[in-house]
A = this chain, B = another copy of it.
Amino acid sequence: MSKIRIGIAGYGNLGRGVESAISQNEDMELVGVFTRRSPENVQLLSNNVLVHKMDAITDFADKIDVLILCGGSKNDLPEQGPALAAHFNTVDSFDTHAKIPGYFETVDAAAKPNGKTAIISVGWDPGLFSINRLFGEAVLAEGATYTFWGKGLSQGHSDAVRRIEGVKGAVQYTIPAPDAVGRVRSGEVPELSTREKHTRECYVVLEDGADAKEVEQAIVTMPDYFSEYDTAVHFITEAELKQNHAAMPHGGFVIRSGKTGEGNAQVMEYSLNLGSNPEFTSSVLVAYARAAYRLNKDGQTGAKTVFDIAPGLLSPKSAAQLRKELL
């Protein structure tokens, strides 16, 4: 059987995770990595794959079945998503929730007339968590859905702390409040404020001579990022930051709490406990690349989301094998 030929556009944490995930899937092969950096400065995990300049990517249109877009949602994907979906079947992890409807339209307009299939906003949130929010309300029509994130390192919040004057280095963890999670799991349907759902914890290395009190105050009062939360700030050394806070764990829960019949409580819960957030997202992208390939073969073109993908399309197993082994 010929393998599904995958290309990677953008080689950061996510691109490296995709390369690693492809090596775990025998029905796929990585045929090229594309970067805006100088290719000679990009070191892949494998020695058998070439790195090319992003400018040359359309030369590879016939050599790649699915291109996995590993750029960021803020600056890369709004431009690359539509541009590349005109030439390739694509999968991306566009995760700016509020902008998804607009992004879907621009990618669809590029992919459809060119006979390409583009699955957008793949990963765990948006992605697997979204699917579970949908299942929750479709199955338990009367109820409430709760999403909790963490314990996990938030890149955006860490960056926000690092931008404060006097901060040399920092990481921020989002932590679901155990009490809130417990109430939801018990079948209660509480109304929870932002402050009640999550707490935030920052580990900060100060610049020489910086005032710890001032930095702490700047963090906990920062609008949008911290002011609505209870935030704990811990000051640590640079050595501690490197040694204890280099991993990128994350995870969380989607819980649907509903009632059926004469008031029977029913609770559905989906949870992830991830040792590496980017590697997990990459693994999801690779599974959806398989679906993009199959959908395109089947003539189903244009932009799609995880809501449009039948689960069976994600597995290397045949439909008959899935019915026999997993149903």
Contact = CB atoms under 8 A, between A and B. Distances in A.
Interface residues of A, number: 67
A215 interface: no
Nearest to A320: B101
Interface stretch (A73-81, A165-173, A266-274): A266-274
A154 interface: no
Contact of A309 (B137, B274, B310, B323): B310
Residue in A126, A139, A273 whose Cβ sees the most chain B Cβ within 10 Å: A139
Contacts of A134: 311-312, 314-315, 322, 326
Contacts of A283: 139-141, 260, 266
A205 interface: no
Contacts of A319: 305, 307-308
A104 B318 CA distance: 14
Contact of A273 (B185, B279, B322): B185
Interface string A252-271: 00000000110011111111
Interface in A182-227: 185, 187
Nearest to A307: B312
A301 to B, nearest CB: 15
A261 B273 contact: no
B327 A100 contact: yes
B272 A135 contact: no
Nearest to A271: B269
Interface in A264-311: 264-276, 279-280, 282-284, 287, 290, 305-311
A104 B309 CA distance: 21
A142 interface: yes
Interface stretch (A19-27, A55-63, A82-90, A231-239): A19-27
A33 interface: no
B138 A327 contact: no
A158 interface: no
A261 B282 CA distance: 10
A104 B322 CA distance: 12
A265 to B, nearest CB: 4
18 contacts: A17-B261, A24-B141, A24-B142, A25-B141, A100-B323, A121-B327, A134-B314, A135-B311, A140-B283, A260-B283, A266-B274, A267-B273, A271-B271, A305-B327, A306-B327, A307-B319, A307-B327, A308-B319
